[in-house]
Amino acid sequence: MEFVVKDLITKCWWSWGFLIVAVISAAVLGSGMWHGNLTAIEKGWLGVLVYGSIAGFFVKPIWTAATSGHSHLLTVCIWSLFLVALFVPFSFFVFYSFFGHDPTRYDKVLNVLPVLVAAWAAGLGWLVHFRLSTKAHRTNNSFSILMETRKSAEYLRRAELFTKHFPPGMASIPQAYFQYFPADSIFRLHQAGPAPNAAQLEMAEAVQAMKYLLNYYEFMAVAISAGDLDEKLLYDTIGPPVVKMFNRSRNYVDYVSLNAPDKQKLTYIVLRKLVAKWEPQIQIDSANAQIP
């Protein structure tokens, strides 16, 4: 219910222009009918103007709500029903204003009314079904992503290695690990001798584990931006750990996008945008958290 009224507050100037025209034309129509100084044709045209202006005001909010996801469905349902409820009496009012002198001759015009109402009902039903189905698919996909972080042996092994070398609370990657940033670092360790140093090899594998996690979260960020995952669900469950992990890995992200020999400026760009979006919200949520 929170968006039903809020969605009507639009910055579109012509929507408010339509509302002003609707109020003025309704006042003129009401005054003219009260004093009886309007002809039937004038009443009909004023009726068209009143309803058309009201519908014009609602076009932008309803369209925006219809394209904004399932949480705004109630806005579409309520205000489109309101327009239909107005459309029926206005249709009869306009019909009898124009054709009241011989209604039986033009009564077939009214046959269009149930067709339009039926078309509205079918369209609204399709929209509701589409939005709720899309929401269910996003939730299922998000749940699968979350389960991978809890049940995938590969993910758990990489996450454990990353946490061992770069534990929570560490501001950034120590400089000793920078030499293992290149993609061929493990290959070079094996090439250096028949038995590579175990400590160095584990450090290089920790950097590889970091790359794995970054790639996983980049895939998640791309899926969120494409609308295939439920952003709110993922933010509420793994948002803070993802942001903290990314911040600890910034040295590597900067290296691969700016300083590597084959630097790729677009590497992790979607994840960077997602972290930049989530981080301020995490700070707000932390400040507002009530500790019992």
Whole-number Å distance between alpha carbons of 100 and 109: 13
Q: How far apart are CA 94 and CA 106, in angstroms?
A: 12
Closest to 244 (Cα-Cα) out of 270, 221, 278, 220: 278
Tokens found for residue 115: 């067709």
Length of the chain: 292
- Residue 75's nearest CA partner among 28, 8, 125, 160 is 8
- Predicted TM-score (pTM) of the model is 0.73
Q: Note the pLDDT of residue 22.
A: 94
pLDDT truncated to tens, each residue of the chain (292 aa)?
A: 678 888 888 888 999 999 999 999 999 999 999 988 889 899 999 999 999 999 999 999 999 999 888 889 999 999 999 999 999 999 999 888 888 777 777 777 778 888 999 999 999 999 999 999 988 999 999 999 999 998 999 999 999 999 999 998 888 899 999 998 888 888 888 787 677 788 888 999 999 999 999 999 999 999 999 989 999 999 999 999 999 999 999 999 988 887 766 667 788 999 999 999 999 999 988 888 765 5
User: What DSSP string describes the chain?
Assistant: -HHHHHTT----HHHHHHHHHHHHHHHHHHHHHHHT---HHHHHHHHHHHHHHHHHHHHHHHHHHHTS-GGGHHHHHHHHHHHHHHHHHHHHHHHHHHHTTSGGGSGGGGGHHHHHHHHHHHHHHHHHHHHHHHHHHHHHHHHHHHHHHHH-HHHHHHHHHHHHHS-TT--S--GGGGGG-STTHHHHHHHH-SS--HHHHHHHHHHHHHHHHHHHHHHHHHHHHTT-S-HHHHHHHHHHHHHHHHHHTHHHHHIIIIISTT--TTTTHHHHHHHHHHHHHHHHHHHHPPP-
Take residue 34 and report the two structure tokens written for it. 């009260």
b/e code 154-166 from CB counts within 10 Å (16+ = b): ebeebbebbeebb
113: nearest Cα among 89, 78, 77: 89
- Closest by CA position to 205, among listed 157, 151, 262: 157
What CA–CA distance (Å, rounded) separates 16 from 20?
6
* Phi, psi for residue 119 in degrees, rounded to 5: -65, -40
Look up residue 59 and give its two tokens.
Answer: 């076009």
d(CA 184, CA 52): 67
The tokens describing 285, both together, are 């949520």
DSSP labels, 153-198:
HHHHHHHHHHHHHS-TT--S--GGGGGG-STTHHHHHHHH-SS--H
